[in-house]
Amino acid sequence: MSRILTVAGAQLGPIAKAETRAEVVERLLVLMKEAKRHDADLIVYPELALTTFFPRWFMEDEAELDAYYETEMPSAETAPLFAEAKRLGMAFVLGYAERDGDKRFNTAILVENGEIVLKYRKVHLPGHAEHEPWRAFQHLEKRYFEVGNLGFPVTHAVGANVGLAICNDRRWPETYRVMGLQDVELIALGYNTPLHNPPAPVHDALGLHHNTLVMQSGAYQNATFVVGIAKCGVEEGVMQIGGSQIIAPSGETIAQATTLEDELIVARCDLDLCTSYKSSVFNFAAHRRPEAYDLITSRTGAIPPAKKA
């Protein structure tokens, strides 16, 4: 008997700076109700799904910055999401900026039966920590967030082994492998990826290619579904890529967004499709050689071999 999980990805179009939490939550609820019409068990929203992508601005005023963070989850503004999901019998993944005491994190949660069953705080923070006015726009995640302190946890929920990641994490094979070693079957991740990368504009034309490349590789090499969901379109003058997709353990994309707006994608994910990969080419217990991988955890930056005299 196959294990089918119907997964919806709720791609979001731009969120304007002036948009309120209540207005955004209303958009999320519209997509959740649409997901229910497709019998979805799980809906995945993007990274920082409650506000505009604020790391694009340099802010010195702490109060201005704090306005983008959630100090409680659910709050009065996000409670309707929890209540509606519970009523519909649907789990959801939500990305948001979290303030925990004096610490700030870029966070994602998995909510099942109206309860938070998994929390992840973004580990790979891209961009820079200081104001760099030469850029067309800032990417100040290194300033506004601490490195996540929860690792890459996997939990059993919605009938599957589920893990979370956030945006830049998807470019790093370690993200998937740490979860692969916990027998992950579905990784949900949201992203905000500007089309233009100021330090390397030569990559701009390849943004969608790299997006698909890394998520398909991560899915195949770790025998897991990957659900990658964008916030996209022109947000406060900055174009962000779409390309939201659901990828099977074969590495094949089985559902994909076609717009740069609020758009639901849906796939019936047979979790048993993981099995042939987990038991053959990616049978980790049989084939991995961790004794040869020590540099992965002992070295951060690349050091070239010594030049021969």
**Active site positions, annotated:** 47, 122, 167
Q: Starting at the edge strand that comes first in sequence, how are the strands of the sheet with 103-112 ordered?
A: 115-121, 103-112, 91-100, 42-44, 4-11, 263-270
Kindly tell me which of 174 and 272 has the beta carbon lying closer to ligand CDT: 174
Q: C-beta of 167: minimal distance to ligand CDT in Å?
A: 3
Residue ranges binding ligand CDT (CB under 6 A): 47, 126-127, 139, 167-168, 171, 191-193, 197
Kindly tell me which of 135 and 288 has the beta carbon lying closer to ligand CDT: 135
Kindly tell me which of 150 and 195 has the beta carbon lying closer to ligand CDT: 195
Q: C-beta of 163: minimal distance to ligand CDT in Å?
A: 17
First vs last C-alpha separation in the chain: 63
Q: C-beta of 95: minimal distance to ligand CDT in Å?
A: 10
Kindly tell me which of 47 and 84 has the beta carbon lying closer to ligand CDT: 47
Kindly tell me which of 101 and 301 has the beta carbon lying closer to ligand CDT: 301
Q: C-beta of 239: minimal distance to ligand CDT in Å?
A: 12
Q: Tell me the three-class secondary structure of the chain, residue by residue.
A: CCCEEEEEEEEECCCCCCCCHHHHHHHHHHHHHHHHHCCCCEEECCCCCCCCCHHHCCCCCHHHHHCCCECCCCCCCCHHHHHHHHHHCCEEEEEEEEEECCEEEEEEEEEECCEEEEEEECCCCCCCCCCCCCCCCCCCHHHHCCCCCCCCCEEEECCEEEEEEEHHHHHCHHHHHHHHCCCCCEEEEEECCECCCCCCHHHHHHHHHHHHHHHHHHHHHCCCEEEEEEECEEECCEEECCCCEEECCCCCEEEECCCCCCEEEEEEEEHHHHHHHHCCCCCHHHHCCHHHCHHHHHCCCCCCCCCCC
Kindly tell me which of 28 and 241 has the beta carbon lying closer to ligand CDT: 241
In this structure, how many other beta carbons lie within 10 angstroms of the beta carbon of residue 179? Answer: 26
Q: C-beta of 199: minimal distance to ligand CDT in Å?
A: 8
Q: C-beta of 302: minimal distance to ligand CDT in Å?
A: 19
